[in-house]
Structures are given as C-alpha cells and as structure tokens.
A = this chain, B = another copy of it.
Amino acid sequence: MKDRRTGNNQYLKEMNKSIVLDLIRTNKDMSRKFLADRTGLSATATGAIVKTLLNDEYIQEIGEGVSSGGRKPVILRLKPRSYYSVGFDIDERYIYTVVLDITGEVVYRKKLETPKRLTADETIETLYQAYFQAVNELVIRDDRILGVGVSIPGMMDIETKRIILAPNLGWSDVDLLNPLEEALDTTVYLDNEAMCSASCENWIGLCRNVEDFICINIESGIGAGMFVRGKIYRGFTGSAGEVGHISVDDKGLVCKCGNVGCLETIASINGMVAKAMRGSTSIQNEINVEKAFEELLQKARRGDSRSLEIFQEAAESLGKAIANLINTFNPQKIVLGKKFPDYADLVLETIRKTAQRLALSYPSRHVEIVSSPFGEDSSALGAAIIPLRKLFGK
C-alpha cells in the first residue's frame, strides 16, 4: 500500500483485515460471529475477510467451540509455520539470529560469536550468510517471509534510516538498510536495541495488551524503549528513552555525557563493576566487565556486604529514576530487562519500594514494576517482531 494520508477501499480492506487478524492473534477462541461482534463489522464482511485469510493460510479452522444454544462456532487460529519473520541482533561481540513464525513462536535461534568488531560491510556479509542458512534449514519459501528486522545498539536517523552512531560497534553514519535489503531481497526494518526489547515485551512478553509502558534495559549502559498508545515512541529525532542519563545524585560521578550522577554511572553493569573495582587493590587496565560482574554477583549472593551495598545503591537509584518516569509518563508497566533478570531477586523489592515512596501516589498505585522474562534475547526477538507488527497493523 502506497504511503498516503487518505483512505480508499483498498486501505479500508487492509485495515479491517489487520484488525481481524490481530483479534485472532490476541484472543484464544475467535469464531466468525465473535469477530463480527468485536469489530462491529457485519457477519458477511467478517466472513469474507476470514475467507481470504484462510485462503492465504494466515489462519486455520481449529475445530468447533462450545455451543451457546445453537450451532457450534468454528474456532479460528493463526496457522503455525505458515509465515515467518527473521530477526537479527547486532552486538559488539555477537550476531544473534532468530526466526519466528506468524504466531510468535521461536522456530530458530543461532548465536554467532564475532571475535573482532565487524565493519558494516562485513556485517552485511555475515547477515547474508546467517539469513540463507536459516531460511534453507527451515525450508521457507520466499513468499512466506514477512520481512527482516535488525536490532542496532545505536541511534539512527528517523528519516533516512542511516545509523548515525553506534559506539559499541564503532560505526558512524552508516547505511545498513539499503544494502541489506538488496542482499536479502526482502523488506528490512532497522530499529534501536531498546525499542526492539520493548516491542518484544509488547508482543510476547509481560506487556501484551499494555498500551503505555517503559522497558528499561540494564547492560553496560542503561537505555529504555517506550510504548505510547500501543506503538513504539521514538521522539522527534528518534532518540527517546535515554533514561540512563536521568540524574539521580547531585554529588555523584561525572558521566561521559557531561551531567553529574547519571543513573548509568550507578546502576548499569559497568557502573556497578567500576564501583566494585574502586575499592579493590588490583588495578587492571582492561577489565573483563562481564566476568567482573559475575564475580560481584557471586559475592553478593554469598552475603558480602560491600557487594550487596552496591546492588542496593543501584536499586535505590533505579527507584528514584523510575519514580520520575512514573510521574511524567504515567505508564501501566515498567519492565526491567537484559542483564537485570539475573539479579532481580536481589533488588526488585528495593526498587519497587523506592519508586512507590518517591512517586505520586495515584500513578504509582497503578504501575507494575517487573523483571523481563527474556534477558538478552529480547532485542533479537523484538527485531523479528517488527515485520509481524506490520502484518497485524501495529
């Protein structure tokens, strides 16, 4: 469908089709009648739309439901393994490939370690191979691929879709989308890692049917993806959600961003490790952050008070920042993800209590603060979900 502001019959059909399809996705036992009731469409129109969906194998008739005093309804479901969507998560140290089917089920996952940083060209080459390996292994027909989503740890220009800056990859002003689209011969969508995570929570995670929420990712830094009215919110230039730079401590460390006491300096993995190291005697130039954090976590679990204190401070800072977000944003949920689930048990209660204490009572009574069920996979999954979202009109 061409990009136009106004609608015509095709647009109408497309739109209604998406709505019907989405109702079938989000509700377990939908019949034609039930769809008609929910959509406001006539039984006829509903039947016609269902027919085309069946024809194209987006859905299938799964059997009969319980009668409510008359003919039994025919239950409709998305047809598993009918259409597929591919997601990539590009990171400093790995490229992660997942394939979902139309129902959102993961049918393929493969993590490729990349010992050295890849250039954009090398990345495209690698994605090319990963793509066709997956597609061939799963024996997916070309016309059954809905598209490819790519998660990038960086900022992109909202218009041109060029990657403006991806510090961890060492890229700046790179066009990944067009060459990749040419190489794979499919529609490619690019999005920021945090946005992808949020998208994942919204589709298959804890924020299904949640319209307004924030997904905060704790990694080497801290970033967030935000949903507003059921859609990803990007902001004016596409950089919304930089919650890592909310200032939570007047007399805290100076952050590389120029501000003081940024959340990131206290509650990110790097921040916590740095704090743990400051007390230590071993001065290492190149610390393995991942390993160091693992050790910190072990020590905390064994009851080491200094380590526990670091986690508690991080929790309180997170609580503070979250209180700000609750007041300004009034979200329904706040999901903490990526590395966070690994140590959620240590800190979640403190975060909740701190946020509850500092935020206004009305919005904070209605918000849930939870730990993500996905961990580090959320970005790749979220990337794969982008093409699905388009199909379902989201």
Contacts and interface: CB of A to CB of B under 8 A. Distances in A.
Nearest to A18: B6
B39 A367 contact: no
A115 interface: no
A241 B236 CA distance: 18
B324 A237 contact: no
Contacts of A245: 327, 359-360
A212 interface: yes
Contacts of A328: 224, 226, 240-243, 246, 325, 328-329
A50 to B, nearest CB: 13
A211 B236 contact: yes
A164 interface: yes
Contacts of A66: none
Interface in A4-21: 4-9, 11-12, 15-16, 19-20
Given A39-B5, A358-B259, A212 B236 contact: yes
Contacts of A249: 250
Contacts of A220: none
Contact of A239 (B164, B211, B362): B362
B258 A358 contact: yes
A324 B238 contact: no
A33 to B, nearest CB: 15
Contacts of A41: 6, 8
A7, A11, A211 — most chain B CB neighbours (10 Å): A7
Given A6-B40, A233-B228, A155 B327 contact: no
A302 interface: no
A248 to B, nearest CB: 8
Nearest to A213: B236
Interface string A328-347: 11111000000000000000
Contact of A39 (B6, B242, B247): B6
A165 B2 CA distance: 47
A211 to B, nearest CB: 7
A6 B2 contact: no
A251 interface: yes
A257 interface: yes
B330 A234 contact: yes
A365 B19 CA distance: 39
A37 B388 CA distance: 31
Nearest to A325: B328
A183 to B, nearest CB: 29
Given A6-B39, A240-B329, 4 more contacts: A164-B362, A229-B231, A242-B327, A247-B320
16 contacts: A7-B7, A224-B328, A234-B330, A235-B329, A237-B363, A239-B330, A240-B329, A242-B327, A242-B328, A246-B327, A246-B328, A247-B358, A259-B323, A259-B359, A324-B324, A328-B328
